[in-house]
Chains A and B, each alone.
Chain A
Amino acid sequence: MSTAIAQKRSFAAVLWDYLTTVDHKKIGKLYLYGGGFFFLLGGLEALFIRIQLIKPENDFISAGLYNEMITMHGTTMIFFAAMPLLLGLMNAIMPLQIGARDVAFPFVNALGFWLFLFGGIMLNVSWITGAPDAGWTAYTPLSTSSPGHGVDYYVLGLQISGAGTLMGGINFLVTIVNMRAPGMTYMRMPLFSWTTFVISVLILFAFPALTVGLFLLMFDRMFGSAFFDVALGGNSIIWQHLFWIFGHPEVYILILPAFGIFSEIFATFAKKRLFGYTAMVFATILIAFLGFMVWAHHMFTVGMGPVTNSIFAIATMAIAVPTGIKIFNWLLTLWGGNITINSAMLWSLAFIPSFTIGGMTGVMVATSVADYQYHDSYFVVAHFHYVIVGGVVFGILAALHYWWPIMFRRILNEKLGKLAFWTFFIGFHLTFFIQHFLGLMGMPRRYWVFLEHQGLDMGNFISTIGAFFMTFGVLVFLYNAIYSWLKEEPAPQDPWDGRTLEWAVAQPVPHYNFKQLPLVRGLDALWIEKMEGNGKMTPAEPVGDIHMPNGSILPFIMSLGFFIAGFGFIYQTDTDFAYILLFGGMAIALICMLIRSLKDDHGYHITKEELEKEAD
């Protein structure tokens, strides 16, 4: 039961294994597969947008379809690509980093994943009948008056996956508070675990605002309420506030884990302790704290008045301080280090200047007076792509190269890795740098076409060429993943001479992670043991029985139930038959909850004898 015997298993067996798994490592992989798939979809949509804008007055896609493309690109990339890819990395790595055998609630973890996946599928099913077209921010009254069912799919898809994310966040919180290995105090936690902890708090506090907003939008669109309908005494600005009270912490939910990733990579490949560890931790917390008080900087032009605008402008600029602390700490980690430059390190090094440009334009758009000029122009598009691609996507790609040996037991090919990096990096700057100037020249965002001879032709052409470079880079990365799986040798346990606990785990990682929980004696736990000549962690406990959770198909069926009920909610405005879906789907989900609540599942034990038999 508890071995990793190399054997050929049938496809159905593997499929069943993944459908029922509650193992954090497998769920992490599922998140990566799901997020990767949606990343490709979102990338394809981006490509359509750029092809449409390659020349003035192009008619590659129609105006309506273009609106659907920009909406789906934004929604997909934020909620169904960046979020799950990061959650996948956290799932796969964080428990290993803090010396835990799994997350606190393995069942809830699986449920979180399946809710995310079905939410993403739900959103993309809308392509059949007409996708949402009100922008990824779905501002009312545009979204409440958008015809068809597009925005309904947006609401239900995000609601379902949002519930999953919330579960994921709570799960990580409980895991980190309760399940750290002996000796792993808070101030000895690797930065990636720290950022996981902090963003989980952000998820816990920020997502409810989105949930409430989506419910109000759902009631307005499907059940005839008038929260956002000015004609009936509602207020459409409420949506903007609720969306950004969620939305601004959300961007920190995305970028902070990337900060954690870079901190790990710089320390490992500079062969130095992370410079200013304590300052890094407190900068992370400070960014999270301030991140809650700046949402209205997305709404400077709404007309909140000069006082409100000034307060939010200054609060926003204050975030540049802890972020600057981080940038300098990374530079000083590199300073005088014994630096190895490989693919993971290239992505990390490229992040620093790219992200700093994004931060600089961030302070520019935070200046509320100047923002009246930048607002809704390509300058803003350039700004947030610099921070999200230059920060989050670079971070995810760096992390994939860095942790690939732990997750997939292969080292990614360096040559292909460098090719992917350079094409993507050049393509990224080609695409987005010029957009700053397009924006300053007055090109508004979300417009389907632009006219010729307005000085926008060349800039847009260059931008589109850059998009093709980025596409090529992504394809090379995919090829690299498949190539290394088929051609490369299995990776050794600790290929980078790592510093933190996840590199002390045997390869392939046993499903119980640690036979004996390790004793952590300081920051960079494994490095301390290496420096003292032990080379491996000292166990903190004798070999004993390990309590493991049983797999379950319930999370999958429960999520399927909500997925079906979602269609019921959407189509009950058209036909009463949809109530079959609505009540049927809810019944499936509720019955699963009932089964889970009433049926005791105590898991199983891996006995001491079995563990000893496996030994070395």
Chain B
Amino acid sequence: MVNNTKTNDFHKQQNKEEMKKQLITFATMIIFTIIAFLIVGSGMMSKMLAIPLLLVLALVQVAFQFYYFMHMKDKGHEMVAVMIYGGVWAAVLTVAALSLIIWW
């Protein structure tokens, strides 16, 4: 690779932004976790409200994990995304089956 200052600057800028995103998502995830603990620990919400909320928080965290920490948002990860969503789909079906149509 050619090592001129222009590309160097560009990469530096990119790395900086990447780092910023990483830190933001990291902080958000920690905040989400604290919120989750607060909700359950303080008992401020009824179960009907708390469970869906926790699930939503969890889903967002999983998305952060995949897209930011595991770089699924970057180019060249299409096949990875297909595989992960395929696996999620198969898992959801299995869990749905074992929880919905087994106990009658």
Interaction A to B: yes
Residues from chain B with a CB closer than 8 A to the CB of A177 are 79
- Indicate whether A237 reaches chain B with its CB closer than 8 angstroms: yes
Which residue of B is nearest A245, CB measured? Answer: B94
Partner pick for B103 among A204, A206, A235, A292, CB 8 A cutoff? A235
Q: Is the CB of A304 within 8 A of B93?
A: no
Q: Is the CB of B90 within 8 A of A237?
A: no
The CA of A295 and the CA of B101, in the complex, are separated in Å by 12
Q: Is the CB of A201 within 8 A of B86?
A: yes
Residues from chain B with a CB closer than 8 A to the CB of A536 are none
Residues from chain A with a CB closer than 8 A to the CB of B98 are 238, 241-242
How distant is B75 from chain A, measured CB to nearest CB, in Å? 15
- Indicate whether A209 reaches chain B with its CB closer than 8 angstroms: yes
* Residue interface bits A227-254, CB-to-B below 8 A is 1, else 0: 0000000010110011001000000000
- Indicate whether B83 reaches chain A with its CB closer than 8 angstroms: yes
Which residue of B is nearest A295, CB measured? Answer: B97
Q: Is the CB of B94 within 8 A of A303?
A: no
The CA of A295 and the CA of B86, in the complex, are separated in Å by 17
How distant is B82 from chain A, measured CB to nearest CB, in Å? 9
Residues from chain A with a CB closer than 8 A to the CB of B67 are none
- Known contacts A205-B86, A205-B90, A292-B90: A241-B97 contact under CB 8 Å: yes
Residues from chain A with a CB closer than 8 A to the CB of B94 are 209, 245
Report, as a range, how many residues of chain A touch the other chain: 20 to 34
Residues from chain B with a CB closer than 8 A to the CB of A245 are 93-94, 97
* Residue interface bits B76-103, CB-to-A below 8 A is 1, else 0: 0001000100110110011001100111
Partner pick for A201 among B83, B93, B101, B102, CB 8 A cutoff? B83
Residues from chain A with a CB closer than 8 A to the CB of B101 are 241, 296, 304-305, 308
- Indicate whether A293 reaches chain B with its CB closer than 8 angstroms: yes
Residues from chain A with a CB closer than 8 A to the CB of B104 are 303-305
Partner pick for B102 among A238, A292, A293, CB 8 A cutoff? A238
* Residue interface bits A543-568, CB-to-B below 8 A is 1, else 0: 00000000000000000000000000
Q: Is the CB of B86 within 8 A of A235?
A: no
Q: Is the CB of B86 within 8 A of A293?
A: no
The CA of A206 and the CA of B104, in the complex, are separated in Å by 25
A interface, by DSSP: helix, strand, loop or mixed? helix
The CA of A177 and the CA of B79, in the complex, are separated in Å by 8
* Residue interface bits A298-318, CB-to-B below 8 A is 1, else 0: 000001110010000000000
The CA of A206 and the CA of B86, in the complex, are separated in Å by 11
Which residue of A is nearest B102, CB measured? Answer: A237
Residues from chain B with a CB closer than 8 A to the CB of A308 are 101
Partner pick for B97 among A201, A296, A303, CB 8 A cutoff? A296
Residues from chain B with a CB closer than 8 A to the CB of A173 are 83
How distant is B100 from chain A, measured CB to nearest CB, in Å? 8
Residues from chain B with a CB closer than 8 A to the CB of A296 are 97, 101
The CA of A586 and the CA of B101, in the complex, are separated in Å by 38
Q: Is the CB of B87 within 8 A of A205?
A: yes
How distant is B42 from chain A, measured CB to nearest CB, in Å? 35
How distant is A356 from chain B, measured CB to nearest CB, in Å? 29
Residues from chain B with a CB closer than 8 A to the CB of A292 are 89-90, 93
- Within A180-215, which residues are at the interface with B (CB < 8 Å)? 201, 204-206, 209
How distant is B98 from chain A, measured CB to nearest CB, in Å? 6
Residues from chain A with a CB closer than 8 A to the CB of B97 are 241, 245, 295-296
The CA of A575 and the CA of B83, in the complex, are separated in Å by 45
Q: Is the CB of A235 within 8 A of B102?
A: yes
Partner pick for B93 among A235, A293, A303, A305, CB 8 A cutoff? A293
How distant is A196 from chain B, measured CB to nearest CB, in Å? 15
Residues from chain B with a CB closer than 8 A to the CB of A303 are 104
22 contacts between A and B (CB under 8 A): A173-B83, A177-B79, A201-B83, A201-B86, A204-B87, A205-B86, A205-B90, A206-B90, A209-B94, A235-B102, A237-B102, A241-B98, A241-B102, A242-B98, A292-B89, A292-B90, A293-B93, A295-B97, A296-B97, A303-B104, A305-B101, A308-B101
Q: What 16 additional pairs, Cβ within 8 angstroms, besides A204-B83, A245-B93, A245-B97?
A: A201-B83, A201-B86, A205-B86, A205-B90, A235-B102, A235-B103, A237-B102, A238-B98, A241-B97, A241-B102, A245-B94, A292-B93, A293-B93, A303-B104, A304-B101, A304-B104
Q: Which residues of B contact A (CB under 8 A)?
A: 79, 83, 86-87, 89-90, 93-94, 97-98, 101-104
